[in-house]
Amino acid sequence: MAIDYTTDIGKMRLLIPDTVLLDDPRDFSKDPEYLFTDEQLAGYLSIENGSIKRAASRAIMAIATTEALILKVLATDDKTTDGAKLAAELRQHAKMLRDEAEQEDIDSSEFTYVPFNGIPVDFAWR
């Protein structure tokens, strides 16, 4: 299943990133899938009124929440996982995307600030 990166969902997959089909380790007979379905990504786009970066930010926050809940801090003899640290990094990435979206909104606004001097100028007095 190829991703069309010209679509909003394809662009979201690049930002998340969710571009590699993953096998289900519990059942290798299933076809590989992406982290999110197209319908889920479309839902995030709808929630965020079509903003790709805000929708990707929301999807990353969902991943962060899942990682924090599932992984926690686990240690064995030779391996350690820290879901809290991973979740913090994902939240930081999500915040960066949201900040970029807000800056783009500011940059694309149609208003121009014109300073106002409240003192009228009477050129006859010069």
Rounded Cα distance, 91 and 46, in Å: 21
Q: How big is the chain, counted in residues?
A: 126
Rounded Cα distance, 80 and 8, in Å: 36
pLDDT of res. 74: 75
User: Mean pLDDT score of the chain, rounded to an integer?
Assistant: 86
pLDDT of res. 24: 78
**C-beta atoms surrounding 55 within 10 Å:** 27
pTM of the model: 0.71
Those residues of the chain that have pLDDT short of 50 are none
| pLDDT tens track for 20-48 | 988 877 788 888 889 999 999 999 999 99
